[in-house]
Structure 1
Amino acid sequence: MESGFVELSFVKLTTDQAIARAVSLAASGTRHLVGITGEPGAGKSTLSARIRGVLGDRAAVVPMDGFHLAQTRLEELGRADRKGAPDTFDAWGFVALARRLAEAAEPITYAPEYRRDLHNGVAGAIAVPRDVPLVIVEGNYLLVDEEPWNLLPGLLTETWFIDVDEDVRMQRLVSRHEQFGKPHDAAVAWAGGPDERNATLIRSTRSRADAVVRV
């Protein structure tokens, strides 16, 4: 392996160790995709942002949330009341983008970004130039053993599962829902309802991760 890069087997990492691992991957001389997964509110975006802050232009963050089906489409399908479940995403589109990012054959690969204020994704919002060595692919269902999600591990160099105290996770989740317009009671109900059903599925995928990051 180049530049001392060593493949992981299942290990536990602290946040600092995970960041050091990301720096090592970025220095390895080739494109690597690191998947960061975990339950809603676990801190996926926070860890991704910290890594990006350390690596700067040598890293890009591509969240799965950009592949939410449009709000109007969810309403047509009768799925708006459980937005965030696996079948409320363009999963095949997400896999196709991950494949393009792994191949790094294009000068720039563009990814969508989810805008919570719009309740929709915005196409072409994230630019990933070909020479960016580390792409962090962030999302809930990276390790789900159902098609097409089960195609993702073959495209990712490794996948990390974030482990966090349950009380902290729920507090973050409720606060996030409140921040984007839900009254407190509605925020608590959503966190304990649709979000928790999704979290149960995500927890069942933990053993498939290459590493668990304790935050």
Structure 2
Amino acid sequence: MIATKQIYARKFHSPARKLRVRLNKSGAKPKSRQHILDTLNQHINTLADHLLQSGDARQIVAITGAPACGKSTLAAELARRLIAQRRSAVVVEMDGFHLDNAVLADMGLGLRKGAPETFDADGFIRLIRALKSGRDVYAPRFDRTRDLSIGGAIRIPADTQFVIVEGNYLMFDEAPWRDLSPLWDVTARLEVAMPELRARLIHRWLSLNHTRMVATRRAEGNDIPNAQRVIDHALACDFTLNGQPAVN
């Protein structure tokens, strides 16, 4: 077991902790990106140290957790730390496999975007399997500004040692997502209490110039149920990381 001050990192298939926390109705503001990064720093050090001891073989690392828990920040900073140690690392985002808005509308899922069934799960699984092929691989990237995926936007050269994959459903106990579990070399789950997640999810919509009423309705109608679903159907990870910012 790896222990760190004021945070924890449980290793090697410890049970996934389920969070069932009453939603915060206070409208509290989410913590800043820098505050989140400060919270994650010890976790990043723990993961980087572990990966740097893994030898020269390719490692496919899954960073998972509920939406807005800080996965993208953690993955990007972990890659930066590894590159600083003269290792090659690329971040791949599951969000690149969002189904197009027109397809979702045809399926009647336009208001459910972000739920497990609104992704090309089979295509994503094929990508992860291809990452083990020893060839150059290209992955899509999700453009949040345009709300669409861009194919072939991320190149993963064959000699990349660390492929860091981040997304909500990487260790998720529903078909077909559970088929991903044996494909990862290292898995880490980032956990944040629901009141903080709620604040961050509402803030995302506010940042797109929605009113607080609309932002709250969008978050509570889709994003927060998706977050709870991730929590309720979580598979055990090698590392479980407490991403809750400390109270100053």
Name the TM-score, length of structure 1 as normaliser: 0.87
* Aligned alpha-carbon RMSD (Å): 2.1
Displaced runs of 4 or more, over 6 A: none
- Distance between the aligned counterparts of 2:120 and 2:95, measured in 1? 10
| Structure 1 counterpart of 2:12, one-letter code | L
What are the within-5 Å matches in structure 2 for residues 46-195 of structure 1?
Answer: 46-56=73-83, 58-101=88-131, 103-106=132-135, 108-195=136-223
- Distance between the aligned counterparts of 2:120 and 2:70, measured in 1? 23
**Cα–Cα, structure 1 residues 17 and 85, in superposed 2: closer, same or farther, change >3 Å?**
closer
Q: 1:22 aligned to 2:26?
A: no
Cα deviation digits, residues 41-95 of structure 1 (max 9, x gap): 1111111111122123621111110000001111111101110111100000000
Range that drifts further, 91-100 or 56-65 = 56-65
- Distance between the aligned counterparts of 2:235 and 2:127, measured in 1? 25
Tell me if structure 2 keeps the 8 A contact 1:117–1:180. Answer: no
- Distance between the aligned counterparts of 1:35 and 1:94, measured in 2? 13
Task: Structure 2: state its 5+ residue gaps.
Answer: 1-10, 17-39, 244-248
**Cα–Cα, structure 1 residues 78 and 31, in superposed 2: closer, same or farther, change >3 Å?**
same
Cα deviation digits, residues 100-144 of structure 1 (max 9, x gap): 11x1421x2110000111111000111111111111111111122
Tell me if structure 2 keeps the 8 A contact 1:26–1:134. Answer: no
Tell me if structure 2 keeps the 8 A contact 1:68–1:121. Answer: yes
Tell me if structure 2 keeps the 8 A contact 1:34–1:136. Answer: yes
Cα deviation digits, residues 21-58 of structure 1 (max 9, x gap): 23432452111111111111111111111112212362
- Correspondence for 1:10 among 8, 14, 35: 14
The residue that corresponds to 1:42 in the other structure is: 69
Tell me if structure 1 keeps the 8 A contact 2:63–2:190. Answer: yes
| Structure 1 counterpart of 2:142, one-letter code | Y
- Distance between the aligned counterparts of 2:126 and 2:164, measured in 1? 16
Tell me if structure 1 keeps the 8 A contact 2:12–2:239. Answer: yes
Name the TM-score, length of structure 2 as normaliser: 0.76
Percent identity reads 36
Give the structure with the higher percent helix.
Answer: 1
Q: How many pairs were matched up?
A: 206
- Distance between the aligned counterparts of 2:125 and 2:206, measured in 1? 31
| Structure 2 counterpart of 1:65, one-letter code | D
- Distance between the aligned counterparts of 2:180 and 2:41, measured in 1? 23
- Distance between the aligned counterparts of 2:78 and 2:128, measured in 1? 19
The residue that corresponds to 2:35 in the other structure is: none
